[in-house]
Amino acid sequence: MALKWYTVVVDCHDPQAQAHWWAEALDWQVVYDTPEEAVAIPQGLSEEPEADLAAWMARGQGLVFVPVPEGKTVKNRLHIDLAPHTSQDRDAEIGRLLGLGASRVDVGQADDVSWTVLADPEGNEFCVLSARDR
């Protein structure tokens, strides 16, 4: 039996701001918000218990934001890749994220790569990949 990938935990200075930023960026919802932790999950993902193992395993992951005193000092060793669907305008989505407060980041990528590296308002890198349908 495999374990379920449940969440990704992000260390940050302002968990509430980060959770709300990512919820806006992904069209998710913030479902838990205290000074010690803020949680964002996909829209429509039930918070109710799921007794059926297969259904529970198929549920999407969440993002958990927790406060830490230190600032980010180096490139992330783990990052999130986002992808638009082929029916979406990738450049418009990148523009939307930049409008929300993301910034472009150079982590050493070549000029001709098929992804764009951005950072959230606290500097955590993530990529916007080329459009895809699977």
Q: List domains and CATH numbers for the chain.
A: 7-67 (3.30.720), 80-128 (no CATH)
Phi, psi (deg, nearest 5) at residue 35: -60, -25
Cα–Cα nearest to 38, from 60, 9, 68, 76: 9
* pLDDT by position in tens, the chain (length 134): 689 999 999 999 999 999 999 999 999 999 999 999 999 999 988 878 889 999 889 888 999 999 999 988 888 889 999 999 999 999 999 999 999 999 999 999 999 999 999 999 999 999 999 999 99
d(CA 11, CA 71): 9
pLDDT of residue 1: 61
pLDDT of residue 120: 97
- Residues 41-76: tens digit of each pLDDT: 999 888 788 899 998 898 889 999 999 999 888 888
pLDDT of residue 101: 98
d(CA 93, CA 15): 24
